[in-house]
Amino acid sequence: MDDFSKRRKFLQAGLLGSIGFILSSAGIPKVSVAGETGLQQPLLDEAIAAQGGLDRWRALTQFSVRMSLYGQLFDRKGHGGDELAHLVCEGTTREQYFRMTGFREPDLRLTYRPDRVALERTDGTLLQARINPRDAFAGHTAVSPWDDMHLAYFCGYANWNYFVVPFVFADPGFECVEDGIWQENGETWRRLRVTYPSGFVTHTRVQTFYFDGKGLLRRLDYGPTLAGPGHVAHYCDEHKTFDGIVMPTKRRAYRLEADGNVVKSLLLVGLDISSAEFT
Q: Assign 137 to helix, strand or coil.
A: helix
**Is pLDDT of 65 > 70?**
yes
DSSP state of 256: E
**Is pLDDT of 155 > 80?**
yes
The DSSP element (H or E) to which 148 belongs, if any, is: helix 148-164
pLDDT band at 37 (very low <50, low <70, confident <90, very high): very low
Domain ranges of the chain: 60-164+265-278
Q: What is the DSSP string of 58-70?
A: HT--EEEEEEEEE
pLDDT at 183: 97
**Counting beta carbons within 10 angstroms of the beta carbon of residue 100, is it exposed (0 to 12), middle (13 to 18) or buried (19 or more)?**
buried
What pLDDT digit, counting tens, does each position of 221-266 carry?
Answer: 999 999 999 999 999 999 999 999 999 999 999 999 999 999 999 9
Choose between 143 and 20: higher pLDDT. Answer: 143
* C-alpha–C-alpha distance, residues 124 and 146, integer Å: 24
On average, the pLDDT of the chain sits at 90
